[in-house]
Structure 1
């Protein structure tokens, strides 16, 4: 796992709840205007254009899959979503939930264990009250990841801590 730069908190190894991870992937755009806008953003070094998400690995031996929760534009590869990077206007967003077979081996860090025994239920409860108007830099996947991780583990500002640790 790519946790070599980030030291997990003490509760990451104690018995208890489900394991909580944060993963990131580079943002991508479809060919044409969206890709041109993303290229301009990269060249202007506007921000580290990464998409962050929360992964939960249940502690129950009966559940082997990893649950992924993230917040993104309804149509992440649209020109509207790409323009929102520059304009700071909101676009319709959606909270996604899906399953993976395993925890990724790259760009994924263990944050700790959930405070409750069923992190999936805690995440679903959190998601039911999450505002879905996405606004890059103000209410996006970074904010979602920070707040969901805090809800699950009590750890605060995890995205900022992670980005500092792997960019230094």
Structure 2
């Protein structure tokens, strides 16, 4: 895990905000192997991005992400690749610990803000029609990080750093 902040000391009372990448999901067989290989080669466009919040007061870590409702359906994948909108969903999951790879500390929640509550409110307003390149996990990640920390275009900064 890499910290992209100049001062990596924890900011007391503020929630840590991370961005993580993982391979895009695909149907089993050759499509899944292709996606995994592209991810392993650090090809930016073949990674799925999500936001992780580590509250200052709790040991639990929550992941927030936006993806197609059925990411392994070949018809959904084809429609998405051709620029058509597909049904998406915002997911919130609990993790026992932060990922060890491709996970970057990108900032801290705004002073005295409850990052979990901000993220939940953000998710209520997020449009769930997914369009690759126009309204996808990258847009979701950039937008949620902006709500939480105030930083615009965090993925642009991460892309310059690599993994």
Return the TM-score normalized by structure 1. 0.83
SS in 2 for 1:48: helix
Alignment: residue pair count: 158
In 2, Cα distance between equivalents of 1:144 and 1:64? 25
CA offsets 1:36-89 (integer angstroms, 9 cap, x no match): 9969x99xxx962100000000100xx211000000000011112321343011
Runs of 4+ that moved beyond 3 A: 9-14, 32-39
Aligned counterparts of 1:117 and 1:11: Cα–Cα separation in 2 = 20
Q: Which residue number in structure 2 is paired with residue 22 of structure 1?
A: 19
State the distance in 2 between where 1:120 and 1:68 align. Answer: 10
Hey, what does 2:2 align to over in structure 1? Answer: 3
Q: Is 1:92 aligned to residue 80 of structure 2?
A: no
Deviation at 1:128, TM superposition (A): 0.6
In structure 2, relative to structure 1, the CA distance for the partners of 1:69 and 1:104 (3 Å cut) is same
Q: Distance in 1 between matches of 2:9 and 2:54?
A: 12
| RMSD, matched Cα | 2.6
